[in-house]
RNA sequence: GGGCUCGUGGCGCAGUUGGUUUAGCGCGCCUGCCUGUCACGCAGGAGGUCGCGGGUUCAAGUCCCGUCGGGCCCGCCA
């Protein structure tokens, strides 16, 4: 038999502790760093659990030490050796035995004792953050200067204390031990990595993506991968406990032109026809309810061929949920339990249930959007009534054409410079606001070029309503309601971040409810579904379908956390006649209904139970728990903003033969 | 479809109104020395078609045009 190197390990690199000292251990891992001191070589060996310092000492094993000479960063090693306590370094000084009491009783060290350290060398000056461990009662102590990341080994001799330089690394969980290697196998060599495999690196994202296999070795990325796994596991366990069945639905389905663009897959058997990848398993999960499954869930990959953003990918993952004989409260309750379980189990983030519920219109009015970040104030205030008879034409013109005047008060904003305000004006222009009016609130006056257009009383009412104090600035936007909401809502967020008004440790869960069922599309001159075609209406507003569809309230709900929409769902329509009415209002022709949803309509008529569902977005949940602002940080192999895979370079060209089989002719030069 | 922004050794950056700069700096890398480091230290060294193409100029990393790639945003995302 050939002599294969042993791959067996007894521990992971994050496992060993002082209590393991004296035992033997075998580790596998990557070389984080090699420190060659001529006589002795230290290697930090890393795997996904942590780092252990392994030592190559020629006096322990000459062969291993010689081999270690060639070891470089990211080499893959198997080592075996003895776990040992890190021995004290050089003797720094001896001190009076009287100081022993200070080490044992946990009180802060006396200035006399501290002075001994500084007297020796200012580099040993102790910080205020000192931690003492008793290694042996009345005999040995380990003193850790946490702030300076330095340790001291203190031993009681006959009548004095000997203070040695410590070799413990307080930053490593395994920092009290090391493995003295007696056998080294270099399992593989490695090219010098393009960037160091450690946290807090400053490397362009495209470089990290190109070398994702190196990037993912970094501890924080491993932590993200593990947290994502735990979140999915927590979800599975919870849904199982709640009686839900996990059922897979097709990845190849038919295209539904409503909503986002579909990712299409050509069919070989049916030239000219295409499968679509699911934007969500919406129709299948409803059919599962019709099929008597009662409670379904799936960790489902979804695809939407739209341009991406920092929190949007071409493909993403939803915890897709549907339940029969359920209404709004049932779904919200299950979802609250699910969120609690995920955030607590995977993220160690405590969650209070039930969550607050905020009507859609109120959210729009107070925050300018339906995914408010409620971790800070600075809410929008409507001033349309107050400003109706001012002399500022920008306001009056907007108001007379059905617009609004709203404002926010920014704490401390009276200090903003002309340039600051210009930048903010440019910022709101992105959202089509034509300007940003401002008034600074001073000790006993209002300051601004536009003050002269207002009665003092008008500005006073504005100030009072917004809660602006002396030293604040009031910003106003006058325009169509949509523009006012977009501009001020985003300005609020922008300034909230810029002025550090957000408590990053807080998680504000909030249901947005009472959405309208339809939205009027000005350009197309017709109603469009606010959510999707199968969203049900509230019983009270259902009669309005015939008279005033714009006023019908849906049974749609969104769960929002810290400004991110993390779940979206609704009670579905389960009666054919109501579904029919929706198609009519939306002007979808019967033949289109038949072509696109025929199977679904059929099923509706064969005994569909009332049902409702929701779909939490796993990626965004993990983003929140990891405090990441980019979705690519929580996906192992994400695509670039243009939809390219930085590793495999998908999408790729295919051969003429492949195209021919699919009866596809590509009409561009490749 | 549109706006903004970035692209200089492996990585992160500097490079002034175009010119004394042989395109610098830090990290990393290589060689040698070093038995207690953990951002080891010391000495020496290698490594760049300044994204690509074209133009202006006596002269371009620097100015202009185009193009490719990354990012953020608007539109879009039922």
The Å distance, CA of A203 to C1' of B6, is 13
The Å distance, CA of A424 to C1' of B16, is 30
Determine whether the distance from the CB of A306 to the nearest atom of strand B is below 7 Å: yes
The Å distance, CA of A400 to C1' of B46, is 73
Q: How far is CA A509 from CA A205, A234, A618, A621, A651, in A?
A: 30, 19, 15, 11, 38
pLDDT classification of A5: cutoffs 50, 70, 90: low
Contact A383, A407 (CB under 8 A): yes
Q: What is the C-alpha to C-alpha distance for residues A476 and A496, in angstroms, rounded to an integer? A: 16
The Å distance, CA of A44 to C1' of B12, is 24
Contact A392, A450 (CB under 8 A): yes
pLDDT of residue A258: 75
The Å distance, CA of A42 to C1' of B4, is 48
**Chain A 261..280 CB hits on strand B (< 7 A):** 261, 279-280
pLDDT of residue A122: 79
- Among protein residues, the one whose C-alpha sits closest to the C1' atom of B11 is A195
Which nucleotide's C1' atom has the smallest distance to the CA of A519? B78
Residue A669 has pLDDT above 70, yes or no: no
Contact A152, A162 (CB under 8 A): no
Give the torsion sign (CA, A489, A491, A497, A503).
negative
Which nucleotide's C1' atom has the smallest distance to the CA of A150? B38
Determine whether the distance from the CB of A200 to the nearest atom of strand B is below 7 Å: no
Contact A614, A567 (CB under 8 A): yes
Q: Where does A86-139 show beta strands of DSSP type E? A: 91-96, 130-136
**Chain A 403..432 CB hits on strand B (< 7 A):** 430-432
pLDDT of residue A1: 47
pLDDT of residue A285: 96
Query: For A657, what's the count of Cα atoms within 13 Å in the CB-facing half-sphere?
Result: 0
Q: What is the C-alpha to C-alpha distance for residues A420 and A633, in angstroms, rounded to an integer? A: 31
| ipTM value > 0.85 | yes
Determine whether the distance from the CB of A548 to the nearest atom of strand B is below 7 Å: no
Contact A16, A79 (CB under 8 A): no
Which residue would you say has higher pLDDT here, A326 or A654? A326
The Å distance, CA of A430 to C1' of B17, is 33
- Among protein residues, the one whose C-alpha sits closest to the C1' atom of B70 is A206
> Mapping DSSP to helix (H, G, I), strand (E, B) and coil, where does residue A163 land?
strand
pTM of the predicted protein model: 0.93
Residue A317 has pLDDT above 50, yes or no: yes
Retrieve residue A4's tokens.
């294969």
Which nucleotide's C1' atom has the smallest distance to the CA of A431? B74
Determine whether the distance from the CB of A84 to the nearest atom of strand B is below 7 Å: no
Q: Give the strands of the sheet with A295-303, arranged side by side.
A: A245-246, A295-303, A315-324, A611-616, A564-571, A556-561, A509-513, A356-359
The Å distance, CA of A236 to C1' of B19, is 68
Determine whether the distance from the CB of A310 to the nearest atom of strand B is below 7 Å: yes
Query: For A4, what's the count of Cα atoms within 13 Å in the CB-facing half-sphere?
Result: 4
Bases of chain B within 7 A of a CB of the protein: 1-2, 10-13, 27-30, 33-41, 69-78
Which residue would you say has higher pLDDT here, A406 or A90? A406
Determine whether the distance from the CB of A530 to the nearest atom of strand B is below 7 Å: yes
The Å distance, CA of A636 to C1' of B36, is 39
Determine whether the distance from the CB of A570 to the nearest atom of strand B is below 7 Å: no
DSSP state of A192: P
The Å distance, CA of A515 to C1' of B45, is 69
CB burial of residue A349 (10 Å; 0-12, 13-18, 19+): middle
pLDDT tens digits along A186-199: 999 999 999 999 99
Contact A490, A338 (CB under 8 A): no
pLDDT of residue A2: 52
The Å distance, CA of A124 to C1' of B18, is 53
Q: What is the C-alpha to C-alpha distance for residues A28 and A57, in angstroms, rounded to an integer? A: 19
Q: What is the mean pLDDT of residues A479-507?
A: 95
What backbone torsions phi and psi does residue A170 show, to the nearest 5 degrees? -70, -10
Determine whether the distance from the CB of A205 to the nearest atom of strand B is below 7 Å: yes
The Å distance, CA of A34 to C1' of B40, is 10
pLDDT of residue A4: 66
pLDDT tens digits along A445-469: 999 999 999 999 999 999 999 999 9
pLDDT tens digits along A415-449: 999 989 998 999 999 999 999 999 999 998 999 99
Determine whether the distance from the CB of A208 to the nearest atom of strand B is below 7 Å: no
**Chain A 431..470 CB hits on strand B (< 7 A):** 431-432
Residue A204 has pLDDT above 60, yes or no: yes
pLDDT of residue A522: 75
Contact A145, A126 (CB under 8 A): yes
Above pLDDT 90, what percent of chain A? 78
Which nucleotide's C1' atom has the smallest distance to the CA of A632? B71
Which nucleotide's C1' atom has the smallest distance to the CA of A533? B78
What backbone torsions phi and psi does residue A180 show, to the nearest 5 degrees? -85, 110
CB burial of residue A163 (10 Å; 0-12, 13-18, 19+): buried
pLDDT tens digits along A498-546: 999 999 999 999 999 999 999 888 777 888 899 988 999 999 999 999 8
pLDDT of residue A520: 85
pLDDT tens digits along A270-301: 999 999 999 999 999 999 999 999 999 999 99
The Å distance, CA of A525 to C1' of B53, is 48
Q: What is the mean pLDDT of residues A253-268?
A: 89
Contact A439, A448 (CB under 8 A): yes
Contact A40, A60 (CB under 8 A): no
pLDDT of residue A47: 97
DSSP state of A553: B
Which nucleotide's C1' atom has the smallest distance to the CA of A534? B78
Residue A670 has pLDDT above 60, yes or no: no
């Amino acid at each position: 038999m050939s002599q294969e190197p042993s791959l067996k390990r007894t521990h992971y690199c994050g496992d060993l502790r002082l209590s393991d000292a004296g035992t033997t251990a075998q580790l596998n891992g990557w070389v984080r760093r090699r420190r060659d001191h001529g006589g002795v070589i230290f290697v930090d060996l890393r795997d996904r659990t942590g780092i252990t310092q392994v030592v190559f000492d020629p006096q322990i094993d000459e062969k291993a030490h010689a081999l270690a000479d060639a070891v470089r960063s990211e080499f893959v090693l198997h080592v075996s050796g003895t776990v040992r306590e890190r021995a004290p370094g050089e003797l720094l000084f001896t001190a009076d035995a009287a100081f022993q009491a200070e080490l044992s009783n946990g009180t802060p060290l006396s200035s006399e004792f501290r002075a001994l350290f500084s007297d020796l060398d200012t580099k040993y000056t102790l910080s205020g953050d000192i931690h003492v461990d008793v290694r042996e009662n009345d005999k040995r102590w380990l003193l850790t200067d946490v702030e300076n990341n330095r340790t001291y080994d203190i031993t009681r001799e006959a009548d004095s204390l000997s203070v040695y330089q410590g070799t413990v690394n307080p930053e490593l969980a395994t920092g009290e031990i090391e493995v003295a290697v007696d056998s080294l196998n270099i399992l593989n060599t490695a090219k010098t990595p393009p960037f160091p495999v450690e946290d807090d690196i400053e490397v362009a994202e495209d470089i990290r993506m190109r070398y994702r296999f190196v990037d993912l070795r970094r501890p924080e990325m491993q932590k993200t991968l593990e947290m994502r796994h735990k979140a999915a596991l927590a979800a599975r366990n919870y849904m199982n406990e709640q009686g839900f069945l996990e059922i897979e639905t097709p990845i190849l389905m038919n295209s539904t032109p409503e909503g986002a663009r579909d990712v299409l897959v050509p069919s070989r058997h049916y030239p000219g026809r295409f499968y679509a990848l699911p934007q969500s398993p919406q129709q299948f999960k409803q059919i599962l309810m019709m099929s008597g499954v009662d409670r379904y869930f799936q960790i489902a990959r979804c695809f939407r061929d739209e341009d991406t953003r920092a929190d949007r990918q071409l493909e993403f993952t939803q915890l897709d949920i549907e339940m029969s004989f359920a209404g709004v409260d049932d779904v919200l309750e299950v979802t609250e339990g699910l969120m609690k379980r995920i955030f607590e189990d995977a993220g160690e983030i405590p969650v209070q249930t039930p969550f607050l519920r905020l009507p859609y219109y109120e959210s729009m009015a107070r925050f300018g959007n339906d995914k408010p970040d409620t971790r800070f104030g600075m809410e929008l205030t409507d001033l349309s009534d107050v400003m109706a008879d001012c002399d500022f034409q920008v306001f009056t013109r907007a108001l007379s054409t059905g617009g609004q005047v709203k404002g926010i008060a920014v704490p401390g904003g009276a200090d903003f410079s002309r340039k600051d305000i210009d930048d903010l004006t440019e910022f709101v222009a992105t959202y089509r606001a034509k300007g940003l009016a401002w008034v600074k609130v001073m000790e006993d006056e209002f300051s601004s070029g536009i003050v002269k257009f207002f009665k003092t009383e008008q500005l006073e009412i504005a100030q009072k309503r917004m809660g602006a104090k002396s030293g604040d600035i009031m910003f106003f936007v006058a325009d169509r309601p949509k523009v006012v909401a977009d501009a001020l809502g985003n300005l609020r967020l922008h300034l909230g971040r810029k002025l550090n008004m957000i408590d990053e440790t807080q998680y504000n869960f909030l249901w947005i409810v009472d959405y309208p069922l339809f939205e009027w599309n000005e350009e197309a001159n017709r109603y469009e579904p606010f959510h999707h075609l199968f969203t049900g209406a509230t019983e009270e507003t259902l009669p309005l379908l015939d008279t005033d569809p714009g006023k019908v309230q849906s049974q749609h709900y969104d769960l929002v956390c810290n400004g991110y929409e993390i779940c979206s769902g609704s009670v579905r329509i389960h009666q054919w006649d109501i579904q029919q009415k929706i198609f009519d209002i939306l002007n979808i022709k019967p033949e289109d209904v038949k072509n696109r949803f025929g199977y679904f309509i059929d099923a509706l008529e064969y005994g569909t139970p009332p049902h409702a569902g929701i779909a939490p977005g796993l990626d965004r949940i993990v983003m929140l728990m990891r405090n990441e602002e980019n979705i690519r940080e929580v996906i192992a192999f994400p695509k670039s903003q243009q939809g390219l895979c930085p590793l495999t370079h998908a999408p790729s060209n295919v051969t003429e033969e492949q195209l021919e089989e699919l009866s596809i002719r590509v009409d561009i030069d490749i």
